[in-house]
Amino acid sequence: MSFFTVTAIAILVSVALALFRAILGPTSYDRILAVNAIGTKTVLLIAVVGFMNGRPDFLDLAIVYALMNFIGTLAVLKYFKFGSLRGGLSRSHGEEK
């Protein structure tokens, strides 16, 4: 058993634990946090699996996934905060509700 296999199993266990948090999570922010954590671990998993199969080209997918994960988290958070995707990400305390 190579270290890639062990690492991939550890990442999968960690993703499962984060998934429990996403299911349990009392607030929606807990779920977003879990989704963001799973995204980061997916980047790791893609890279490790690519090395495990001897195809480091998978790293391109990992780069794209890292950027997509960031943009996706920001988009969902903006939607939650402002209720729409229009307008800038500027501060708007007090204007809400």
Partner 1 sequence: MELLLDIATWILMMSGCFFLLITGIGLLRFPDIYTRIHAGGMADTLATFLIFAGLALQSGSTLVTVKLVFIVAFIFVTSPTATYALAQATFVAGLKPRLDGFDNSKAPKNDSNAKDEA
Give the residues lining the site for partner 1 (CB under 8 A): 3, 6-7, 10-11, 13-18, 20-21, 24, 27, 29-30, 32-34, 36-37, 40-41, 43-44, 47-48, 51, 56, 59-60, 62-63, 66-67, 69-70, 73-74, 77-78, 80-81, 93, 96
Shortest distance, CB of residue 4 to partner 1, whole angstroms? 8
- Nearest CB to partner 1, comparing residues 10 and 53: 10
- Nearest CB to partner 1, comparing residues 53 and 60: 60
Shortest distance, CB of residue 40 to partner 1, whole angstroms? 5
Contacts of 86 (CB under 8 A, 6+ apart): none
Of 59, 19, 49, 60, nearest to 37 by C-alpha is 19
Shortest distance, CB of residue 85 to partner 1, whole angstroms? 14
Half-sphere exposure of residue 40: CA atoms within 13 angstroms, side-chain side:
8
Of 61, 35, 36, nearest to 46 by C-alpha is 61
Q: What is the largest CA-CA distance in the chain?
A: 57
